[in-house]
Amino acid sequence: MGRGPRGVYVHVPFCLHKCHYCDFYSIAGDGDGGRRDRRGVFVQRLIEEIRASSAFLGPPIETTFFGGGTPTLLPSGLWKILLAALSDHQPRAADHELTVEANPETVDEPLMEALVAGGVNRLSIGAQSFDPRHLKTLERRHDPARVVRSVQIARRGGIANINIDLIFGIPGQTLEQWLEDLQEVLALEPTHLSCYALSYESNTPLTAKLRAGRIKRIDQDLEARMYEVVIDRLAAAGFEHYEISSWARPGRRCRHNLRYWRNDQWWPLGPAAAGHVAGVRWKNVPHLGRYLREGPLPAITDVERLDEDGRIGEELMLRLRLIEGIECGLLQRLLAAGVRGRERGVAIMRHTDAGNLERSSDRLRLTRRGLLVADSVLADLL
């Protein structure tokens, strides 16, 4: 057994259209046969990178995640070539989890056939909302009916493990509308749900509109209430809340994302993909043109080698995102090792007294109240 990373993240940087809230690296209108279709050369280049990086990985690979961008904008013919190359160069574990992110408008039968034949066993569908008004605010261009259709096509094609992404706290959204979204999504019987509050990233058109007063952020109390109702509603529907924004049917937690929260290693492929190996984090340069010209391994940026104290802070912050929290023995070891151990211990006591953290059996974890202010609690421990 190799000792390299057993997880792989692949970034596919094409989108049909740039959504107003999104700050992921992607090129809109390119790759859809628009200005200049670079999907074919991208896949060839990606295969070159897969070959060159195979010596650093596992084996075997346990989880692979295709994100973006919109991976499902690659046509089925290219998927067949790509997945065959991936399987040739990256030996997979028997229970390998292979996820592809999909936009509802891009899912069709030939695509699903190519994905399943190539080993894809998990689909993550970006629904975001079932209300056309809110999809419009986000500049998502799909019709909510396409979400239903994409789930049906995926199931018929042989994918039983389906995540659906939803966003709440959209300007103008009411609690009732959010409850309706939850009802719609539960009717589709996904195995996993990711529900995020809308975030206003710097340099997005949505944030520019907010600054210009053209949209109004929803009330913070209402946003908190929306988060609480999703916790209650999904618990009542039999989902396990296992990470701040993630819910799963028993046995269906996303193993690839757990790798991130457990501070494990993964290897990045494709422009803008970020990785974490042997205590070093980096990102492939987010530029498709450079990615296509340079190689076989891409140029990298944002290289970060944290010192021991930084690694401890990061591990605490990541592990506390999990609802199970952090095991007390590990917590003690982490606090004893870092130069800021005493400071972090005091912060933990302060948040425990405030009701944001609790010790439950042998673990420290966020309370329900702490989940509502998780960002500030975790920032204090970093």
- What tokens were used for 321? 């995102």
Task: Pick one of 22, 206, 218, 364: the residue that binds ligand SF4 (CB under 6 A).
Answer: 22
Report the distance separating Cα 245 and Cα 322, nearest Å: 9
CA angle 21, 25, 30 (to 5 degrees): 100
Task: Pick one of 54, 63, 70, 90: the residue that binds ligand SF4 (CB under 6 A).
Answer: 70
Question: For residue 104, is the peptide bond before it cis, meaning its omega torsion is within 30 degrees of 0?
Answer: no
- Pick between residue 30 and residue 380 the one whose CB is nearest to ligand SF4: 30
**Shortest distance, CB of residue 101 to ligand SF4, whole angstroms?**
8
**Residue 242 Cα distances to 8, 50, 156, 246, 254, angstroms:** 22, 32, 28, 6, 10
Task: Pick one of 24, 56, 200, 282: the residue that binds ligand SF4 (CB under 6 A).
Answer: 24
Task: Identify residues 26-55 at the interface with ligand SF4 (CB under 6 A).
Answer: 26
Task: Identify residues 1-20 at the interface with ligand SF4 (CB under 6 A).
Answer: 15, 18-19
- Pick between residue 11 and residue 319 the one whose CB is nearest to ligand SF4: 11
Task: Pick one of 31, 58, 68, 275: the residue that binds ligand SF4 (CB under 6 A).
Answer: 68
**Shortest distance, CB of residue 201 to ligand SF4, whole angstroms?**
11
- What tokens were used for 82? 């790509």
Task: Pick one of 69, 190, 275, 286: the residue that binds ligand SF4 (CB under 6 A).
Answer: 69
Which one of the spans 22-30, 152-160, 201-209, 325-333 is the region binding ligand SF4 (CB under 6 A)? Answer: 22-30
How many residues bind ligand SF4, per CB under 6 A?
Answer: 11
Which one of the spans 67-75, 159-167, 238-246, 345-353 is the region binding ligand SF4 (CB under 6 A)? Answer: 67-75
**Shortest distance, CB of residue 243 to ligand SF4, whole angstroms?**
20
**Shortest distance, CB of residue 14 to ligand SF4, whole angstroms?**
8
Instruction: Decide: is 82 part of the binding site for ligand SF4 (CB under 6 A).
Output: no
- Measured at CB, which residue is nearest to ligand SF4? 22
**Shortest distance, CB of residue 204 to ligand SF4, whole angstroms?**
10
**Shortest distance, CB of residue 182 to ligand SF4, whole angstroms?**
20
Task: Identify residues 83-142 at the interface with ligand SF4 (CB under 6 A).
Answer: 103, 126
Question: Which positions lie near ligand SF4, rule CB under 6 A?
Answer: 15, 18-19, 22, 24, 26, 68-70, 103, 126
